């Protein structure tokens, strides 16, 4: 028995040296790749968001644009496209629609009249906030399935990975 205890202690000390994807304990199955876990979750979350977006009269891209326009105007359509990781040709019809609906403004930049400053209108801000609140209310039901400590750790880790994903 003493030998088993020493072996168990030795095994317990080795998870830090385990190779990525390998089990941390010999009886644990290897974990799935991150994309294999995140992509299905992302699809599930997007499917849950779609009825909310529909109810608020927004497309997914329209919502993404509203989320990225804050109190400070974005200087160009190209800068916004880069920020939301979309092709700038894809974003133009989205901007046209949001502007026609009075949700955002495109104004000449006083420093460079060729450039346009993009900003939310009060109505755009209200729609963005209402849509986000409804989406996050639905997310709360999913997150409530996790114990509080796991939930906090999951959200903290997800924020960190999200922030890192924007870096080269």
Domain ranges of the chain: 59-132
Burial-class residue 79 by CB neighbours within 10 Å (0-12, 13-18, 19+).
middle
**Topology (CATH) of 59-132:** Arc Repressor Mutant, subunit A (1.10.10)
* Residue 70: per-residue pLDDT: 77
The confidence band for 82, taking pLDDT boundaries of 50, 70 and 90, is confident
Confidence tier at 113 by pLDDT (50, 70, 90): confident
CA distance 74 to 128: 16
Q: Which residue has the tokens 């109190």?
A: 71
**pTM value?**
0.75
- How far is residue 34 from each of residues 22, 30, 42, 46, 68, measured CA to CA in Å? 13, 12, 12, 18, 26
Rounded Cα–Cα distance for residues 110 and 97 (Å)? 24
φ, ψ dihedrals at 70, nearest 5°? -120, -160
Is the pLDDT at 3 greater than 50? The verdict is no
Alpha helices in the chain (DSSP H): 2-13, 34-55, 60-68, 77-83, 88-100, 122-143, 148-165
Mean pLDDT of 115-130: 93
Q: Report residue 18's pLDDT band, with 50, 70 and 90 as the boundaries.
A: very low
The string of pLDDT tens digits covering residues 83-109 is: 888 888 888 999 999 999 999 998 888
* Mean predicted confidence (pLDDT) in 116-142: 94
Q: What is the secondary structure of 67-91 as a DSSP string?
A: HH--SSPBS-HHHHHHHTT--HHHH
What sign does the dihedral 107-87-70-102 (CA atoms) show?
positive
């Amino acid at each position: 028995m003493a030998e088993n205890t020493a072996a168990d202690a030795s095994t317990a000390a080795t998870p830090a040296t385990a190779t990525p994807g390998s089990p941390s304990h010999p009886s644990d199955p290897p974990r799935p790749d991150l994309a294999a876990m995140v992509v299905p979750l992302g699809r599930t979350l997007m499917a849950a968001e779609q009825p909310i977006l529909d109810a608020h009269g927004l497309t997914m891209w329209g919502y993404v644009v509203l989320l990225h326009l804050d109190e400070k105007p974005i200087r160009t359509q190209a800068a916004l496209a880069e920020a939301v990781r979309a092709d700038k040709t894809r974003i133009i019809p989205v901007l046209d629609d949001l502007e026609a609906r009075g949700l955002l403004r495109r104004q000449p930049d006083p420093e460079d009249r060729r450039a346009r400053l993009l900003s939310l209108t009060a109505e755009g801000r209200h729609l963005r906030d209402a849509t986000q609140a409804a989406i996050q209310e639905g997310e709360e039901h999913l997150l409530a399935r996790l114990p509080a400590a796991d939930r906090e750790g999951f959200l903290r880790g997800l924020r960190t990975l999200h922030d890192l994903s924007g870096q080269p």
